[in-house]
Amino acid sequence: MSVMQSGTQMVKLKSGTKGLVRLFYLDEHRTCIRWRPSRKSEKAKIVIDSIYKVTEGRQSEIFHRHAEGNFDPSCCFTIYHGSHLESLDLITSNPEEARTWITGLKYLMAGISDEDSLAKRQRTHDHWVKQTFEEADKNGDGLLNIEEIHQLMHKLNVNLPRRKVRQMFQEADTDENQGTLNFEEFSVFYKMMSLRRDLYLLLLSYSDKKDHLTVEELAQFLKVEQKVNNVTPEYCLDIIQKFEVSEENKKQNVLGIEGFTNFMRSPACDIFNPLHCEVHQDMDQPLCNYFIASSHNTYLTGDQLLSQSRVEMYARVLQDGCRCIEVDCWDGPDGEPVVHHGYTLTSKILFRDVAETINKYAFIKNEFPVILSIENHCSIQQQKKIAQYLKEIFGDKLDLSSVLTGDSRQLPSPQNLKGKILVKGKKLPCSLGADAEEGEVSEEDSADEIEDDCKLKPCYSNGATEHQVESFIRTKLESLIKESQIRDKEDTDSFTVRALLKATHEGLNVNLKQNLDTKESGKKSHSRSLMGNFGKHKKAVKAASKYHSASDDEESQQNSSGKEMGQLHSRLARRKKTVKLCRALSDLVVYTNSVAAQDIVDDGSTGNVLSFSETRAHQAVQQKAEQFMLYNQKQLTRVYPSAYRIDSSNFNPLPYWNVGCQLVALNYQSEGRVMQLNEAKFRVNGNCGYVLKPQQMCKGTFNPYSADPLPASPKKQLILKIISGQQLPKPPDSMLGDRGEIIDPFVEVEMIGLPVDCCKDQTRVVDDNGFNPVWEETLTFTIHMPEIALVRFLVWDHDPIGRDFVGQRTLAFSSLVPGYRHVYLEGMTEASIFVHITINEIYGKWSPLILNPSYTILHFLGATKNKQLIGLRGLFNKNPKHNSAETSGPYVRKRSIGDRILRRTASAPAKGRKKSKMGFPEATEIKDSASEPVDLKDKEGVVRRTSRSLQARPASMPVDKYLLVGPTCPEDETAQDAKGKENASGKMLPKLVLM
């Protein structure tokens, strides 16, 4: 460690350039690797937590590109880090230095993986405070003066009077070096600044207004508020010993405000149920009764046209809990099959390397079965090689002869298949004789939605032309991705990619075939032709996209349902290509025989996996949701992204989960909302990749789009009190960074599940306070099917032209724990929201009408009926966005950027005042809503609350009375005055529509 901290000069390899000599060193906290010199200055670092693995020798893609370099392999190593497995490729001057770094990094990574959650929280907090101090110390003398403290206040989003800051500064400044704070004094200052009124008042309410809790008072708090069972005095004493700071308090067995704050901010009071960190569901049911975490194009690190294919991606997703991975197999040189994305310029990796990586990492985190989805494009010879490698490498893991199902018509359970690898692929038909070594099967090609003239064929022959092709496509792809990033981060709509695909592929194929050895002038005309082609297609598609979304196809432009039907049949007929399959590969497929939608035969057999692209699955969901659900009770269904998603964006998985589709395959390399939903869904069962479907989805059927889909089942009522926020940072994409204005935060809570449960609600805005804003607002939700519902907490910064995304946390509803809880924002060390959670069970036909005003309005407007009757008009639209089952309803055209800005502005709650609440009488709601029916849904098709019930619900008594009588800020007083007038008059205040 000391060698690493003092630093080592190493060569940093980069693609396309010579190596750069840099000094690499481990920081004093042993939390990150830094290097200098660097243009990134403070950002030139890799956090140890983000390191995925360290490999020795010249194994990485960059080292392979520098194959001509005369590097000693024992001096080379690669650090893979971040969600996209970026590589840092380093060369030391001697083997001993390389060995020191490799051993040291592996030691640090092992320590972090073995750390318990409490130790990790304490370590990250201490590191954050130390880092904050160092960044504020501009001249590096280890001391902070008052001016540096004022600048730090602004960076931390604290808006305190300068007089108050100076007073705390003087109290903390206790050594002989007056006028500056060293780190110990700064830690005292930070604790004074961080003293939380909400937690202090909570402690007072349970301690009979003392400044500490006794063992008995702590036990009472845990039982009454936190709903902890079997609270013993020993348990309470253990909390005091762990969290109390004062030795005096420890001796007296009491918990002071600092210890209480530490306890409330610890994992023990996190919103996520700690029992769900382990597998706790019944794992003995048939495979079809589980949602299964599934990846699409697992090998890719980025987009579908140019990105790198890496075996490390298999290791990463398997350890992240994914249990169904995809391998696209193609003929490679020297008789060795390769894995890459067909018809594109993605790099190739050997199939054998992929199989070895899967074998190594499949069962490290859990032993539940892995499904290997093989997309086979190989010749018979190389298919035999694939089968040979699978048998050699996986061995007994492929042997399913000992697996007992108990019923031949039923799939085995995850428990029975522990440690097994299931090969999902084509199987030779039974009509072929057992001695036939090969046969014809229908081709399974996820890229087949793209017409042949759009597929990039290898029609160039020399390196210069290939480089020209890659350069052109990269430019176009980057412009597309930049354009798509203009949109709101929470908007799941994507810009159209079809135009780019057609222009790029057609232009390249035509122009490159005409003249492969063009001169410079020829290259210029080629470029002009290509640009013209791109512009033409882009204009045409953009015009169409005003009324149709990103992946609309020709079928969606047909007016007659008869024409649509004919078009669909001709398309299916066109798709039904066949390929040769060898017996050796076919025999490895046992319970996961891959069949396309048009090949399905209801012959009572089990073990078929029905494969759908998102566009075809969307048609099935819209047309026959209940029949689809019944099918999914016996067989597996896999839904994968449209081939037009060349930027590796993800579709909305909800409509497919809602009808019981098990394998909803997503691009794991793409961060964002969809992957956050996916992670939340599968974290509920120890992140083992298998989540049990609700009982109602496994037996019987129901209409997921009904106004009351499960009338006989009790519903859940979530009463969520948003109390305060802590250390909320400036938005990550803030143009002025830390120098920008102090944020004006508000919290939005989104309920995600069955369509009837999907809605949003939000708090008011708190002005100029990101450090400790207080909202004290209660939001209420009713959930019909809590087993599949997700809850999404979002923090936004309100500004005059809209809102900026600050952070989020998404959880399964069933993982919420009642009581006072902290919701830590994902990927942030200290930022959190403090909430109180109450969950009630409610019965009766009318309960949703009473507790969910948005539902009432939709019910009376007949919006749900409209969903069912949309019928033929939207049945064959190739559009997973606006016409999806989740968002169906009156068709809304795609908005322009200007419209979006206006809409985002209008969606922010009123600044500095509480939203008006609305009384219960339904007649008023109907009258108000009838005039503005379109505003009931936002652009994501989610109900946005326009009103709330006036009825008071005690969400967090008895602390409320203390919070109300304590010192209040002006905006709180305004809100309370309004509330008092509202309650005194007994009348409804005017409704404030927040859209």
Residues marked as catalytic = 296, 340
Query: From residue 313, how far is each of 52, 82, 300, 358, 370 by CA, in Å?
Result: 10, 11, 7, 10, 15
Q: Are 995 and 938 in contact (CB under 8 A)?
A: yes
Residue carrying the six token digits 């050895």: 517
Closest by Cα among 803, 834, 979, 765 to 905: 803
Q: Are 766 and 774 in contact (CB under 8 A)?
A: yes
Residue 449's SS3 state is coil
Specify the amino acid at residue 333: P
**Cα separation of 269 and 222, whole Å?**
10
DSSP 766-800: PTT-SSS-EEEEEEEEEES-GGG-EEEEEEEEEET
**Cα separation of 608 and 313, whole Å?**
27
Residue 141's SS3 state is coil
Contacts of 688 by beta carbon, 8 Å cutoff, 6+ apart: 279, 321, 323, 365, 366, 368, 682
The C-alpha angle 54, 55, 59, rounded to 5 degrees, equals: 145
Neighbour-count burial for 665-681, b at 16+ CB within 10 Å, e otherwise: bbbbbbeebbbbbbbbb
Per the DSSP assignment, residues forming a β-bridge with 716 are 783, 841
Helical ranges in 395-519 per DSSP H: 463-485, 498-514
Contacts of 452 by beta carbon, 8 Å cutoff, 6+ apart: none
Contacts of 777 by beta carbon, 8 Å cutoff, 6+ apart: 721, 722, 763, 764, 914
**Cα separation of 571 and 597, whole Å?**
12
User: Is 864 buried (19+), middle (13-18) or exposed (0-12) by CB count in 10 A?
Assistant: buried
| Host H or E run for residue 924 | helix 922-931
Q: Are 760 and 750 in contact (CB under 8 A)?
A: yes
Q: What is the DSSP letter of 620?
A: H
Q: What is the DSSP letter of 30?
A: S
Number of Cβ atoms within 10 Å of the Cβ of 822:
17
**Which tokens hold the place of 798?**
């309100």
CA 397 to chain centre: 31
DSSP 362-400: TTSS--S-EEEEEEE---HHHHHHHHHHHHHHHGGGG--
Q: Are 978 and 913 in contact (CB under 8 A)?
A: yes
Helical ranges in 561-648 per DSSP H: 561-575, 583-586, 614-623, 625-631
The alpha carbon dihedral of 233, 235, 236, 242 has a sign of positive
DSSP 299-344: TBSS-TTTPPB-THHHHHHHHTT--EEEEEEE--GGG--EE--TTS
Q: Are 369 and 327 in contact (CB under 8 A)?
A: no
Contacts of 931 by beta carbon, 8 Å cutoff, 6+ apart: none
Query: From residue 728, how far is each of 156, 195, 833 by CA, in Å?
Result: 8, 16, 9
Specify the amino acid at residue 731: P
